[in-house]
Amino acid sequence: MAASLLGSILRVEVPQRGRWLRQGEKGWTVITPHGEAPMLAPAEGEIVAVNQKAISNPELISQDPYGSGWLLEIFSPDTQVSFRNLLTGGLARRWMEQSILELRQAFAPMAPATALDGGRIAPQLGNELPQESWRELTSRFFRC
């Protein structure tokens, strides 16, 4: 869903190894043809690795976000604090379902462009949005 909303990723700006991130604050920035989308750090801790392969080939981020498209590895000395602020299990599933519903409703005026099969959000959907709509939706859904 996130990759579909962002659309084409031109590049990503990430902090350097060794930098400390605070959970919920800006962690990195995704740059697309529509503009910049700051992303919030999911955990607090020190950046111990940066995936240069994904930085130099941003298509990997959308194609394989949980595999070769990862961006940062964060060492969190107090995982209990970071995990306490993350959604898990059924709560995370309900949040995702609600977000998808809201995203579909936001795209309702563009119905033919939103889904390839009538139900799934089309890949690279963000490329089809007017710039102002893209900014509004990325701000709303990425909470930045």
Q: Phi-psi bin for 23: left (phi > 0), alpha (psi -120 to 50), beta? A: beta
What pLDDT, in 10s, does the model give residues 92-134? 899 888 888 887 777 666 655 444 455 555 656 777 778 888 8
What pLDDT, in 10s, does the model give residues 31-74? 999 999 999 999 999 999 999 999 999 999 988 988 999 999 99
Q: Helix 131-142 and helix 89-107: axis angle, to 10°?
A: 160
Q: Is there a contact between 77 and 40 (Cβ–Cβ < 8 Å)?
A: no
Least confident of 11-15, 121-125, 135-139, 140-144: 121-125
The reported pLDDT for the residue numbered 109 is 64
- pLDDT tier, 24 (very low <50, low <70, confident <90, very high otherwise): very high
The helix, strand and coil proportions of the chain, stated in percent and rounded to the nearest 5, come to 45, 20, 35
Radius of gyration of the chain (CA): 16
> Which tokens go with 109?
């005026």
Tell which CATH architecture fits domain 2-142: Beta Barrel (2.40)
- pLDDT tier, 144 (very low <50, low <70, confident <90, very high otherwise): low
* Most confident residue range from 19-23, 76-80, 93-97, 114-118: 19-23
Domain ranges in the chain are 2-142
Q: If we measure between CA atoms, which residue out of 65, 40, 59, 36 comes closest to residue 134?
A: 36
